[in-house]
Structure 1
Amino acid sequence: MNTTAAPYMHDLGRGPAYYLRLAAACLLLAALSGCAGWGAREPAQLAPAPLPPEPFALNSFELQENTDVVGRLRHTTIQAEETLLDIARAYDLGYDEILAANPGVDPWTPPTGRRVMLPTAHVLPDTPREGIVINLAARRLYYYPPAPHGAPRRVITHPIGIGREGWATPLGRTKVANKRAAPAWTVPASIRREHAAKGDPLPAVVPPGPENPLGSHALRLGWSSILIHGTSKPAGVGMRVSHGCMQLYPEDIAPLFDAVPVGTPVTVVDQPYLVGLGADGLVLEAHEPLHPAAATRRETVVTGLIKAAIARHRVADTAHVDLSLANSYATGQAGYPLPISVGAPAIDDYRAALPAAPLLPTPQATPVGQGDWYVDLGRFKSENNARRLVAMLIHQGPPIPAARQPQDGQYRVLAGPYPSKTAAAAAVRRIKRDLGETGQAIRLAPTVALGG
């Protein structure tokens, strides 16, 4: 029984920038196997967060008169070894939006105790509030369900993954043509060719199950080959990762599927700049445009949106709007609503005054394997680099069990366990394909695997 492996180093000369690039690459590669391309938070073990001044709502909001903003911005704090992806999923946020709201924070190894901004407020897209509305720039879906007579109207919103470059999600109006639970995926020929060229051939049909890129439910639209569906790779939600489809977290697609009837209208827009009226007065929400424009064009667009919001709500004239501040926020692309009235607080002061969100558990479960075969991914001088690789493995789709193990002043990363050498070898190939990391299949006694 082989209980040792030649110590090969994986972090020599690799700084944080390398692993940030690897993070982006692994999420993109993880998404390529589908039409679009689960660490857990344990609030019971933590000191309770201060109660916010009003009830906390996650993703379903009552539509109020004379306002364009739903939700409220809040913050939370990194617990133990959470990643930003854990927090994003707990609060129904996407990858891009939580990174934009927290610039400079490593998504995989944020420091324990770090305050994290939660972009849990949204300016509604400037469209009729009916059916499903998707704003590609915000990577977000809004569903306006029919309200019973006399009942208040509501909106439900979720983050989505959208089409990547070369596979753009179409704009315009369509409808939900049909629905399918536990869908099989008939792989388009173009996608089969793409995967074959990468050494990752796909079958003509992928049956329902945990590796099906369509997830558990799918809504087929009136556009050919375009669906709103779940995903086997939740880490890609909130990014440009798909082949044109729109993908949701597994916990979001199931209730949406049940709620949305066939025939529901679907409107897809690209609105990177949104201006509306909320509790803080006029606010601007800015996202990175799918198609960047010159600064002068951006300023013209933002000014026009401000004027339209003023006219729509009959508020004070433009003299009460700080256009310089608005353009600064449009450039910054923080991805959440910020007040732009004259005398609005500085952004740091505004963020500091936000209430804490209640601690929520992430739907992601730490993967557990069985057996005595592992993939040895080497030893790292840096514990942070070992932690980062473990987090990436756990957030693959389907997730890969992994752990770091202190050993002789270094940190060994093991993926697994697996029940057989064949299964471990398959994991070696998958990790190489998805993450570019080289490993070897080894068999370990339980005491060795556990560090005994």
Structure 2
Amino acid sequence: MPNCREIRVMIKTLRTSYWLASLTLAALLSAMPAQANTWPLPAAGSRLVGENAFHVVENDGGSLEAIAKKYNVGFLALLQANPGVDPYVPRAGSVLTIPLQTLLPDAPREGIVINLAELRLYYYPPGSNSVTVYPIGIGQLDSNTLTPTMVTTVSDKRANPTWTPTANIRARYKAKGIDLPAVVPAGPDNPMGHHAIRLAAYGGVYLLHGTNADFGIGMRVSSGCIRLRDADILALFNAVKPGTKVNIINTPIKASVEPDGRRLVEVHQPLSKRLEDDPKTLPIVLNAAMSSFKADASTDAVTMEHAMDVRSGMPVDVSAHVPAPANAI
């Protein structure tokens, strides 16, 4: 039977082992990629899903891109939700809003819906009462690299895809002094990452794919394709089948009258069309339905105008509040 000293040594050894195991587990968890943000579909008549989160920046807490990756949101979405924050060295102790709440796009809840203006992809799994929201990168500001709106389907899926740059892409790289090969093989140098989903429209030149770069999600960075983080493209690749509907829209402002009467708007910076455009101040043109929503007596037009100026990318309550009568108790 062990004596007291031996028991103390055993306890100390167990505590040390537990401490080391805890550190190892914490390191593994911190290294794991953020999981996709999946939400149950809202009740009938509602478009509101998700809940915003909050993040306290630690000392040497990393860049805004690192924080965006931690919560699996887009870089620009995080920047718009936190105006004035330093994107490279956020101030330690500051509290960031993580924009996870959103209004579902005004489009059929089927297959894949991509809203270019908000740099998000919505996936509605068949037979599931849920939606998964992915941040995406889209085409750069150039007539040859814009991501077009379209209604199409998934035509093909490829693991470990090769990349065949188009003539326009090779010419752009050539102008920078880079000679691209006719075909880039699968591997770490392939900008398409390890999985690709081909769309049927436009002869199949547009794809949803991963990336070999650790930045650019939630930005306009691609040559026209839809770019996702590695874990996201893998999940989507495993979930979708050829024939899945894909609806790509460009809607910088969304609105909803919720079942409880709240009137919500969500405003994103519109996509620039010229290099001199400033998406923070570009006019947002309201269609007939949105104009009617704003003009309704139940909408506070001043609050809605403010939301259109701020462009936070998050749902804002713009309900008009009727003042109580002066003689009310």
TM-score for both structures, normalised by structure 1: 0.58
Structure 1 position 257 matched with structure 2 position 211: no
Whole-angstrom CA distance in 1 between matches of 2:221 and 2:317: 31
Query: Aligned pair 1:165/2:141, yes or no?
Result: yes
Give the corresponding residue for 2:131. Answer: 155
Q: Does 1:241 align with 2:226?
A: no
Q: Which amino acid aligns with 2:41?
A: L
- CA deviation profile, 1:164-183 (whole Å, cap 9, x unmatched): 11111111201100000110
CA contact (8 A) 1:179 1:262 kept: yes
CA deviation profile, 1:128-187 (whole Å, cap 9, x unmatched): 11111000000000011111xxxx511111010011111111112011000001101112
Q: Secondary structure at the match of 1:235?
A: coil
Greater mean alpha carbon deviation, residues 221-230 or residues 254-263 = 221-230
- 1:289 corresponding residue in structure 2: 270
Larger RCO, structures 1/2 (Cα 8 Å, 6+ apart): 1
- Identity of matched residues, %: 39
Aligned to 1:88: 68
Secondary structure at 1:331's aligned position in 2? helix
* CA distance in structure 2 between the aligned counterparts of 1:259 and 1:91, rounded to whole angstroms: 21
Is 2:280 the counterpart of 1:304? Answer: no
Q: Which amino acid aligns with 2:161?
A: P
1-structure distance, mates of 2:266, 2:146: 23
- Superposition pairs of residues 10-409 of structure 1, within 5 angstroms: 44=26, 59-65=37-43, 66-81=45-60, 82-147=62-127, 153-166=129-142, 167-223=145-201, 224=203, 225-278=205-258, 281-291=262-272, 298=284, 300-301=286-287, 304-305=289-290, 307=292, 318-343=296-321
Whole-angstrom CA distance in 1 between matches of 2:146 and 2:154: 19
CA deviation after TM superposition for structure 1 residue 190, in Å = 1.7
* 2:135 counterpart letter in structure 1: P
| 1:77 partner amino acid | V
Alignment size in residue pairs: 279
- How big is the shift at 1:296? 12
How far, CA to CA, are the matches of 1:43 and 1:242 in structure 2?
36
Query: Contact 2:65 / 2:87 at 8 angstroms: preserved in 1?
Result: yes
Counterpart Cα distance in 2 of 1:306 and 1:155: 28
The 1:218–1:300 alpha-carbon spacing in structure 2 relative to 1, beyond 3 Å, is closer
Q: Is the 8 A contact 1:71 1:120 kept in 2?
A: yes
Aligned partners of 2:135 and 2:218 also within 8 Å? yes
Three-state SS of the structure 1 residue aligned to 2:192 is: coil
CA distance in 1, matches of 2:321, 2:26: 41
2 CA distance for matches of 1:197 and 1:76? Answer: 42
Shift in Å at residue 326 of structure 1?
Answer: 0.6
Counterpart residue type for residue 308 of structure 2: A
Uncovered stretches (5+) of structure 1, i.e. residues with no partner: 1-41, 46-56, 311-316, 345-452
The answer to whether the 8 A contact 1:234-1:250 is kept is no
Structure 2 gaps, min length 5 = 1-23, 28-34, 323-329
SS in 1 for 2:67: helix
State how far apart, in whole Å, the 1-side matches of 2:261 and 2:207 are: 36
The amino acid of 1:222's aligned partner reads: A
Aligned residues of 1:160 and 1:237 also touching (Cα < 8 A): yes
Return the letter of the residue paired with 1:305: M
Instruction: Give distance in 2, aligned partners of 1:112 and 1:170.
Output: 40
Contact kept, 8 Å, 1:282 with 1:339, in 2: the verdict is: yes
**Offset, 1:329:** 0.3
Contact 1:85 1:95 (C-alpha < 8 Å) held by counterparts: yes
Counterpart CA distance in 1 for 2:75 and 2:87 is: 9
SS at match of 2:117: coil
- Aligned twin of 1:28: none
Q: Alpha-carbon deviation of 1:102?
A: 1.1
Question: Which residue type is aligned with residue 118 of structure 1?
Answer: I
Q: Please tell me the root mean square deviation across aligned C-alpha atoms, in Å.
A: 2.6
Q: In the superposition, relative to structure 1, how do residues 333 and 160 fare at CA in structure 2: closer, same or farther (>3 Å)?
A: same
* CA deviation after TM superposition for structure 1 residue 197, in Å: 1.6
CA–CA distance in 2 between the matches of 1:297 and 1:90? 33
SS of alignment partner, residue 173 of structure 1: strand
